[in-house]
Amino acid sequence: MAGLSLDHPYAFAFGILGNLISFMVYLAPLPTFYRVYKRKSTEGFQSVPYVVALFSAMLWIYYAFVKTNMFLLITINTFGCFVETVYILMFLHYAPRKAKIYTLKLMFLFNVILFGSIVLLTMLLTKGENRAILLGWICVAFAVSVFAAPLSIIKLVIKTKSVEFMPFYLSLFLTLSAVCWFGYGLLSKDIYVAIPNILGFLFGMTQMVLYTVYKNCKKVSEEKVISDSITIVVVPDHQIIKEKEVEIPSHEGDHEQNKGTAVTNDEENVITKSTVAA
């Protein structure tokens, strides 16, 4: 098999490294699902990334079987199918009814209708090498759209000047994975594997540069938010409530004062403090 042959030792090495790093990428959501398991709730987490990842793994397995001699693609994507299926089953178990229905609809759309249509059309309309070519370009188109997903994270980091939602190690492993699979595709002369990973590498490097730039800005931003203003939120009972003005000192330490509104209840007050940006 190509990729396992001694005639392609460098392609084999890149493929093995790609498998190892992609293995860690697939396991990256484990802390999230451990939290879901402990709290018995999905807490607003979305199922879309896991459904899309399952579809992607299925698509690459199909491509590998059609192209033949792509054993290293089959191994990692088979593992990916298993892991993503486990994630989705856990999500379905702990998610609220509305999220469960939405997830099932997504799975039916991506993993049944779309994947089934691709298999059917490529089987009926193409033969031999042409089938692998068509399927390869389908894989490239979908992989590029998936690699473009970090654009929203990059925009969020620049806007908030915070890397809270962009874990460094996940970005690092995704970048290394892209490098390995690009090398595998290049050395095994498979452009359909190599092309999308160029984009994956560029987006990964961009994320790591942004992390370096903004990694120390989060604490400053949080202090600014805390010091800007304080809103007192009151949850009243079903009694008649009254309003009165209270004075809240400004964070600048001068003699000016900000006025806030506190709602009091004759029998009982439940007061929660939260911070808001200016």
- pLDDT tens for the chain, 278 residues: list them: 344 444 578 888 899 999 999 999 898 888 888 888 898 888 777 888 889 889 999 999 999 999 887 889 999 999 999 999 999 999 999 999 999 999 999 999 999 999 999 999 999 988 888 898 999 999 998 888 777 666 777 887 888 887 776 777 778 888 899 999 999 999 988 999 999 899 888 888 888 888 888 887 754 444 443 343 333 333 334 333 344 444 444 444 444 444 444 444 443 343 333 333 33
Alpha helices in 188-272 (DSSP H): 191-214, 217-228
- Rounded to the nearest 10 degrees, what angle do helices 71-94 and 97-107 cross at? 150
- Contact (Cβ atoms closer than 8 angstroms) between residue 81 and residue 54: yes
Residues 6+ apart with CB under 8 A from 157: 163, 165, 166, 207, 210, 211, 214
pTM for this prediction: 0.70
What's the CA gap between 236 and 254, in Å, rounded? 33
Cα–Cα distances (Å) from 2 to 62, 138, 198, in that order, read: 17, 22, 22
